[in-house]
Amino acid sequence: MDSVHLPALQVVVPLLTAPIVAVLRDARLSWLAAVVTSVMTFVVSVYIVQHVLAGAVLSYQMGGWAAPYGIELRVDSLNALMLLVVSGASTLALLAGRQSLTLQIGEERLPLFMAAWLLALAGLVGILVSGDAFNIFVFMEISSLASYILISGGPDRRALPSVFKYLIAGTLGATFYLIGVGMVYMMTGTLNIADMEARLAGVGDTNVVFVAAGFITIGLALKAAIYPMHAWMPNAYTFAPNIVTAFIAACSTKVALYVLLRMDFFVFQKNLVDHESQFTYLLMPLALLGIVFGSVAAVFERNIKRILAFSSVAQIGYILLGASLISVSGFTAAVLHLFNHALAKSALFLAVAAMGLYFARLRLQVLRGAGRKMPWTFAAFVVAGLSLIGVPGTAGFVSKWALISAALESNLVVPLLVLILGSSLLAIVYIGRIVEHLWFGDATDKAVQIGEAPSWMLAMVWLAVAANIWFGLDSSLPMALAQQSAIDLLRQLP
Amino acid sequence: MSSEVSILLSLAIPLTGALLIALTGRWPNVRETITLLTAVALMLTVWQLFPEVMDGARPAVSLGQMMPGISIAFKVEPLGMLFAALASMLWLVNSVYSIGYMRGNGEKHQTRFYVCFAIALSATMGVAFAENLLTLFLCYEILTLSTYPLVSHKGDPATIRSARTYLGILLGTSIGLFLPAIIWTYQISGTLDFTVGGILTGKMSGPAVGLLLGLFAFGIGKAALMPVHRWLPAAMVAPTPVSALLHAVAVVKAGVFTVTKVIVYIFGVDFLFGQPSSSWLIPTACFTIIAASIVALHQINLKRMLAYSTISQLSYIVLAAAVLKPLAEIGAALHMVSHAFGKITLFFAAGAIYVASKKTELNQLRGIGHRMPWTMTAFTIGAISMIGVPPTAGFVSKWYILGGALQGQHYLVVFTLIASTVLNAAYFLPILYRAWLSKETDPNKLKHGEAPWPMLLALVTTATLTLAFFVYNQPVIDLESQLVGRSK
């Protein structure tokens, strides 16, 4: 395939299929169309990763108009890895999710729902491939609006207030980002990220640019659910349809984090005077607080999805912590964890979705003894949980290793180690609690009647688990991309 | 069969066994046959590596890179060879015993039991043969996780609480202390391979050495150095075959084996000898030996008493390794063997008593020697070996450790060894007295004889091994002399 068109295809495929899926009338057909589209998107990502691994940076001029005047799509090692995560998570969730979606969404609404799904997917990959700050905003809006539909589409009416909260937070975040981009445009006259970086050099010490950087960072932090701006996230994850959670939890906050890293490192870091202090005095403390708060909150939660959602708050803290060390090893750890955490969380939420076929509410009390009735689903959950904890042989271990290595190189060894390891121990506690309830609890009346999840769904859950083990034993692919992006970053550092 | 293949097979055989056991769970006789066949196959595979390693060969095999610069790789060296040979042999004996115990006791979930057991053995082989710290850590964690279902086997609330303690301490110490120690080592030395003479020489000095040693010694929770010993008494809720093989041999020996390996191949004996900041390990091990013995004195439950005795005996091995003298390093290896033989015999006996009479407490054992003469004879031999009296295995290893302590003029160690011998006698002799010389006082007398024959066969075998090791121990001494750089 001609590699030139790959970045454009990445967005165009889901974006153009979405309206077609919307007019389909058959639920099963619409699901099938969405699966095929998502698989195609994934295949494109795989091609892109192959090219990027070979050392290429893919750049595409929309309509043949040269950057910086035309719209540029640009893929390097950082967003290539993210493309793999997003399209992979969407594909796995869709493949696994037919029964779950039919159950929670209903046959008649499924075609429209699938269209919204593809729009969300298109928006997310669009953010990733854009080499243009304003286009990122456009795709951000597309993906956000579509995700509001996805989250509120389930049978649980409590999803409505939580999605409203998400909408307010998401709109605030996007608006802040837009204000920031507008100010930078005012000072530089460009929206192309690469061009912006070059032109900021002359005006890097002006107040306007400082304020712009502040708006952009805070806006994206809100979208990425960085503590204490995470309040919208746990409920949105909890009350969304189960399969949607598996998709959204694996990628939507991570894509916002990606934009944050892209803007702060590749655009501002070199040009703004004393920009490091933003990491040292703002983002790192927030990351540490998030790690502690997320883990502790997860220990005390009683709904399995909320436990995992608060665990995400902590894991986002890990990623941000790695990045805010401003070193090659730290940034490598952050990118690795973006990838590995997405693997673990999508496997976990898929296993939860399998349980959700039998249980409308996913409180631990209700799920007692369910593990004994669905041993394979339970085993998948346990292995993915081990990956979340960071047990060797799983993907989570690799990024924990990288993060601890980076912390040992920093000048804050002891406090960072204590927090990282302490939070891992808390992960043992909250995963352990789930395991004890699911396996040893006295089966409830409901749990007595159920059986194992459908075998196809089980196969998909185990595929996600297998990915966790594979990338735990051979981390060369994410490691190569993460290191490459960290080296790119180093070149940007003053 | 080339030795590379043998290494891989010794990991794969128990795993394949686990799979087959899971598939044949419906037919108990087939399932048990597979367990036994797997154990035989594993033992033969491991043992045929022995002559080669004895001749100085170090067969190795690599399974590819886990992270840049660190592979999953296996290499057989003397200490690992000994550990693997020991564990694979005792697995066979223990499987015979398990069949008698699980059937005699009518336990539930027997398939799960045998599957987890086989996985644990595969992980043990991985620990024994690991070429670098990361591979060892991987297998170490698999061992922890695969034994959790065995410890929580019974599934009642008290068992779950104990299993939580077990998993919490073992995972907590390994992730909280062991893992940072490994990463720290990697950052300093750029490698994690076990290397003769150590990999840290000239790369660090001062108090940091003592701190790193601390992270290792307490991070390897399976060595049960106080205060991270609580998991071992907690693990006693498991069925007795688990306590016998895993919590007297495989798991705990994996702990002290790892500590010894870290001291010999990561720090290096000579390097550590020149670092005063590492001297805290000897008093800590001495304290554990004495304190655990005193706690054992107060126990009223047989298995818990044996567990505290194990904690004390494990610190013998840590202590011997920490003395940093050739004789003591050999003593550490010998004690791994002699304690394994003695303690597995004691646990076998405890399980036999439980199956035959449902007795678990020490004060119920009056006159039991007359009802179960074979069992109690074996128990007596095991107990004498724990005390360290000839003609048993325990004497040989204590002799070497004492020799090493005198070589290094560690009088604290000499004193501890003597004091601990007295304490061991103080908690084992009353049991022997009660069992052989007291009269039964049980009001509702349960008529019982010996336990089922497979159990007897197993415990007579290990008791015989305990005696035999007293006279026939030269191969082990020859093998482990290579560990401290002496040719035979």
Burial A339-372 (b: 16+ CB within 10 A, else e): bbbbbbbbbbbbbbbbbbbbbeebebebbbbbbb
Residues of A in contact with B145 (CB under 8 A): 386, 391
Beta carbons of B183 and A404 less than 8 Å apart = yes
At residue A410 the predicted structure's pLDDT band, cuts being 50, 70 and 90, is confident
Closest in B72, B160, B180 to A421, CB measured = B180
Among A163-177, A330-344, A433-447, B219-233, name the one with the lowest average pLDDT.
Answer: A433-447
Cβ of residue A435 closer than 8 Å to a chain B Cβ? no
Nearest CA in chain A to B179: A401
At residue A272 the predicted structure's pLDDT band, cuts being 50, 70 and 90, is confident
pLDDT at A493 over 70: no
Among A1-10, A345-354, B22-31, B279-288, name the one with the lowest average pLDDT.
Answer: A1-10
Q: Tell me how close the Cα of B229 comes to any Cα of chain A, in angstroms.
A: 18
- What pLDDT does B487 receive? 39
Name the nearest CA neighbour of B355 among B440, B452, B236, B431: B452
pLDDT at B101 over 90: no
Residue bearing the bigger pLDDT, A245 or A493: A245
Beta carbons of A405 and B137 less than 8 Å apart = no
Beta carbons of A401 and B183 less than 8 Å apart = yes
Beta carbons of A474 and B186 less than 8 Å apart = no
Beta carbons of B155 and A408 less than 8 Å apart = no
pLDDT at B39 over 80: yes
Q: Tell me how close the Cα of A41 comes to any Cα of chain B, in angstroms.
A: 29
Residues of A in contact with B141 (CB under 8 A): 391-393
Beta carbons of B172 and A428 less than 8 Å apart = yes
Among A160-164, A187-191, A447-451, B206-210, name the one with the lowest average pLDDT.
Answer: A447-451
* Rounded Cα–Cα distance for residues B8 and B2 (Å): 10
pLDDT at A381 over 90: yes
Residues of B in contact with A401 (CB under 8 A): 67, 179, 183
Q: Tell me how close the Cα of B263 comes to any Cα of chain A, in angstroms.
A: 22
Beta carbons of A436 and B67 less than 8 Å apart = no
Which B positions 365-384 lie with beta carbon below 8 A of chain A? Answer: none
**Which residues contact residue B488 at a Cβ distance below 8 angstroms, ignoring those fewer than 6 apart?**
B478, B481, B482
Residue B27 burial (CB count, 10 A): 11
Nearest CA in chain B to A389: B175
Provide the token pair at B87: 């564990």
Which of B119, B150, B183 is most worth mutating to test chain A (most A CB atoms within 10 A of its CB)?
Answer: B183
Across residues B178-196, what is the average pLDDT? 91
Residues of B in contact with A484 (CB under 8 A): none
Residues of A in contact with B211 (CB under 8 A): none
Yes or no: say if A14 and A125 are a contact pair by the CB < 8 Å rule: yes
Cβ of residue B167 closer than 8 Å to a chain A Cβ? yes
Residues of B in contact with A403 (CB under 8 A): none
Q: Which residue has the tokens 């709904």?
A: A303
Please give the torsion angle defined by the CA atoms of residues B83, B88, B90 and B95, in that order, rounded to the nearest 10 degrees.
Answer: 150
Bridge-partner residues for A132, per DSSP?
Answer: A192
Q: Tell me how close the Cα of B290 comes to any Cα of chain A, in angstroms.
A: 31
Residues of A in contact with B152 (CB under 8 A): 440
Cβ of residue A477 closer than 8 Å to a chain B Cβ? no
Yes or no: say if A424 and A387 are a contact pair by the CB < 8 Å rule: no
Closest in B142, B152, B175 to A390, CB measured = B175
The CA radius of gyration of chain B, in Å to the nearest whole number, is 21
pLDDT at B351 over 80: yes
**Contact pairs from chain A to chain B, CB under 8 Å:** 70
Nearest CA in chain A to B68: A476
Residues of A in contact with B142 (CB under 8 A): 393
pLDDT at A434 over 70: yes
Q: Which amino acid is at B50?
A: F
At residue B488 the predicted structure's pLDDT band, cuts being 50, 70 and 90, is very low
Beta carbons of A476 and B176 less than 8 Å apart = no
Backbone angles phi, psi at B64, to 5 degrees: 105, 170
Provide the token pair at A326: 């401003």
Find out whether the peptide bond into B227 is cis, omega within 30 degrees of 0: yes
pLDDT at B346 over 90: yes
| pLDDT, tens digit, 9 for 90 and up, residues A180-220 | 999 999 998 889 988 888 888 888 788 899 899 999 999 99
pLDDT at B339 over 50: yes
Find out whether the peptide bond into A228 is cis, omega within 30 degrees of 0: yes
Residues of A in contact with B168 (CB under 8 A): 428-429, 432
Cβ of residue A400 closer than 8 Å to a chain B Cβ? yes
Nearest CA in chain A to B153: A440
| pLDDT, tens digit, 9 for 90 and up, residues B108-155 | 888 889 999 999 999 999 999 999 999 999 999 999 999 999 998 888
**Which residues contact residue B57 at a Cβ distance below 8 angstroms, ignoring those fewer than 6 apart?**
B3
- Rounded-to-5 percentages of helix, strand, coil across chain A: 80, 5, 20
Beta carbons of A390 and B72 less than 8 Å apart = no
| pLDDT, tens digit, 9 for 90 and up, residues A16-35 | 999 999 998 888 999 999 99
Cβ of residue A391 closer than 8 Å to a chain B Cβ? yes
Q: Tell me how close the Cα of B120 comes to any Cα of chain A, in angstroms.
A: 15
Provide the token pair at B384: 């004498």
Cβ of residue B276 closer than 8 Å to a chain A Cβ? no
Beta carbons of B187 and A400 less than 8 Å apart = no
pLDDT at A145 over 90: yes
Backbone angles phi, psi at B479, to 5 degrees: -60, -45
Beta carbons of B175 and A425 less than 8 Å apart = yes
Provide the token pair at A172: 């605030």
Q: At A59, is the secondary structure helix, strand, or coil?
A: strand
- What pLDDT does B443 receive? 59
Nearest CA in chain A to B133: A392
At residue B74 the predicted structure's pLDDT band, cuts being 50, 70 and 90, is very high
- What pLDDT does B445 receive? 63
Across residues B441-459, what is the average pLDDT? 78
Cβ of residue A413 closer than 8 Å to a chain B Cβ? no
Cβ of residue B179 closer than 8 Å to a chain A Cβ? yes
Nearest CA in chain A to B180: A404
**Which residues contact residue B402 at a Cβ distance below 8 angstroms, ignoring those fewer than 6 apart?**
B331, B414, B417
- What pLDDT does B446 receive? 65
Cβ of residue B142 closer than 8 Å to a chain A Cβ? yes
Nearest CA in chain A to B136: A392
Stated as kind and residue range, the H or E segment containing B75 is strand B70-75
Closest in B134, B168, B180 to A428, CB measured = B168
* Rounded Cα–Cα distance for residues B185 and B199 (Å): 9
* Rounded Cα–Cα distance for residues B369 and B390 (Å): 22
Name the nearest CA neighbour of A298 among A388, A397, A421, A429: A429
Rounded to a whole number of angstroms, the distance between the first and last alpha carbons of chain B is 26
pLDDT at A136 over 90: yes
Q: Tell me how close the Cα of B110 comes to any Cα of chain A, in angstroms.
A: 15
Beta carbons of A479 and B68 less than 8 Å apart = yes
- The per-residue pLDDT of chain A, averaged, comes to 90
Q: At A56, is the secondary structure helix, strand, or coil?
A: coil
Name the nearest CA neighbour of B37 among B20, B53, B50: B20
**Which residues contact residue A492 at a Cβ distance below 8 angstroms, ignoring those fewer than 6 apart?**
A197, A265, A266, A269, A270
Q: Tell me how close the Cα of A425 comes to any Cα of chain B, in angstroms.
A: 6
Residues of B in contact with A425 (CB under 8 A): 172, 175-176
Across residues B412-433, what is the average pLDDT? 91
Cβ of residue B205 closer than 8 Å to a chain A Cβ? no
- What pLDDT does B177 receive? 93
Residues of B in contact with A472 (CB under 8 A): 66
Cβ of residue B190 closer than 8 Å to a chain A Cβ? no
Q: Tell me how close the Cα of B205 comes to any Cα of chain A, in angstroms.
A: 17
Cβ of residue B344 closer than 8 Å to a chain A Cβ? no
Q: Is A277 exposed, middle or buried (0-12, 13-18, 19+ CB in 10 A)?
A: exposed
Beta carbons of A432 and B168 less than 8 Å apart = yes
Name the nearest CA neighbour of B250 among B165, B134, B123: B123
